[in-house]
A and B are shown apart, each in its own frame.
Chain A
Amino acid sequence: MLRRYFLSLVLMLSASPALAHSEAGVAIDFMGGFLHPIFGPDHVIAMVAVGLWGAFLGVPAIWLLPVVFPLVMAVAGAFGVLGVPLPGVEIGIAVSAIILGSMVALAAKPPLWIAAVLVGAFAIFHGHAHGAELPVGADAVAFSMGFVVATGMLHVSGIAFGTLSRWPAGRIAVRVAGGVIALIGLAYLVRAI
């Protein structure tokens, strides 16, 4: 009998917390924040598309768009954290992938301010969605840093791939990538509706 009690006690001490889902277990530090945007494919394709489009448009869009996106995203994220509602977030995210992917696929070169406004407008949806999912009470600084750095790295990866557009074959590859992003966005839109 004593052995059973002892064994039960040891097993109880060995138990780890039953977290609602696996990500919550890590979503309190830099790595949790870093992985947060990467776990959402709909976010990933839109952020890569921002980098692709920036590279396609050239200087100054190549750095202006990745500067505008995190700033607007953070403001919208703050509203999401504070529980301010925003309708049609999932639709907005899907449309962002369609529009941004289409811009790359069609090699669209609108005036810089239009590109910045478009990217900023779509960043609202992405930021709000992320903000609403951020764990309140997390190690705020480390988590937010990881989150913002991951977003920036996704832009950088898009820019890196987008620089292939300097060569004719690379230009085709970048436009195809934009088309694929738009199609994936369309699939997300159908699912969201």
Chain B
Amino acid sequence: MSQLLRTVLIVCLVMLTTPAWAHAPIMGIRGVLGGLLHALLIPEHGASLVALGLVLGRQQQLARRSGLLIFAAALVCGLVAAGLAVEAKLAPDILLVATGILGLLIAAGWGPPVLGWPLAAIAGLAFALDSTPETTSTDETIRMLIGSGLGAIVALALVAEGAGVLRGNGQPIVARVLGSWIAATAILVLALRIATRMATG
């Protein structure tokens, strides 16, 4: 093999290499921590928690905590269903619609408990059903679902209580802008999903 050929071969092989990640952002991490990260790092999940937290954060303490409890109850029901392998193909879309409505409520500066509570229940259920991990082990699935539940409840409580504390310190304007961004994102994502389904049949 000539020197030139060797050099070309080495250059080509070097160009073919890809970074050797220790693990993919989530795929490599399993167990409770993997589920917790799944709840926090999936963009639509994170957006739904922020949106619901901001809506609940506008409410009085009793109504806010009632909303948190409703979300937690619906989430647990959904996680049990997900653990029993109940299939819910529409869960991501329902979660997205709920997130969009929550975003609109934030942008409008209006989120009474009569709207916030049902949306908390829908978001909790859809969130859980959309959190089914892709594992074959039952133990692993349960551990990841527990992690997802814990992550979602803790994150929601932090956002809702934080928004409640910051209420009146310029937070409403920031929240309204954030709400409009969340709603706009949800609308665009839904449109892209519908268009993709139409294109792929």
The yes or no verdict on A and B being binding partners is yes
Contact of A152 among B177, B187, B188, B194 (CB under 8 A): B177
Interface stretch, picked from A75-83, A93-101, A111-119, is: A75-83
How many chain A residues touch B (CB < 8 A): the figure is 37
Of residues 172 to 201 in B, which have CB atoms within 8 Å of A's CB atoms?
A: 173, 176-177, 179-181, 183-185, 187-196, 198-200
> Which residue in chain B gives the minimum CB-CB distance to A140?
B192
State whether A3 touches B1 (Cβ < 8 A): yes
State whether B173 touches A11 (Cβ < 8 A): no
State whether A70 touches B184 (Cβ < 8 A): yes
Interface stretch, picked from A17-25, A143-151, A184-192, is: A143-151
State whether B5 touches A144 (Cβ < 8 A): no
Of residues 138 to 193 in A, which have CB atoms within 8 Å of B's CB atoms?
A: 138, 140-145, 147-149, 152
Interface stretch, picked from B7-15, B69-77, B144-152, B161-169, is: B7-15
How many chain B residues touch A (CB < 8 A): the figure is 36
State whether A147 touches B16 (Cβ < 8 A): no
A18 to B35, CA, bound (A): 38
Of residues 82 to 129 in B, which have CB atoms within 8 Å of A's CB atoms?
A: 104, 107
Contact of A144 among B13, B104, B176, B185 (CB under 8 A): B185
Interface stretch, picked from A42-50, A102-110, A129-137, is: A129-137
Determine how close the nearest CB of chain A comes to the CB of B105; give it in whole angstroms.
12
Contact of A77 among B1, B180, B191 (CB under 8 A): B191
Determine how close the nearest CB of chain A comes to the CB of B116; give it in whole angstroms.
20
State whether B191 touches A14 (Cβ < 8 A): no
> Which residue in chain A gives the minimum CB-CB distance to B45?
A141
Q: Which of B8, B104, B188 has the most CB of A within 10 A?
A: B188
Q: Given known contacts A131-B191, A152-B181, is B1 in contact with A136 (CB within 8 Å)? A: no
State whether A82 touches B194 (Cβ < 8 A): yes
State whether A73 touches B184 (Cβ < 8 A): yes
State whether A136 touches B187 (Cβ < 8 A): no
> Which residue in chain B gives the minimum CB-CB distance to A143?
B192
Residues on the A chain within 8 Å of B181, using CB: 70, 148-149, 152
State whether A82 touches B12 (Cβ < 8 A): no
Contact of B187 among A11, A74, A137 (CB under 8 A): A74
Q: Given known contacts A14-B16, A67-B176, A81-B195, is B188 in contact with A140 (CB within 8 Å)? A: yes
A13 to B189, CA, bound (A): 34
A134 to B194, CA, bound (A): 13
List residues of chain B with CB under 8 Å of any chain A CB: 1-2, 5, 8-9, 12-13, 15-16, 43-44, 47, 104, 107, 173, 176-177, 179-181, 183-185, 187-196, 198-200
List residues of chain A with CB under 8 Å of any chain B CB: 3, 6-7, 10-11, 13-14, 63, 66-68, 70-71, 73-75, 77-79, 81-83, 131, 134, 136-138, 140-145, 147-149, 152
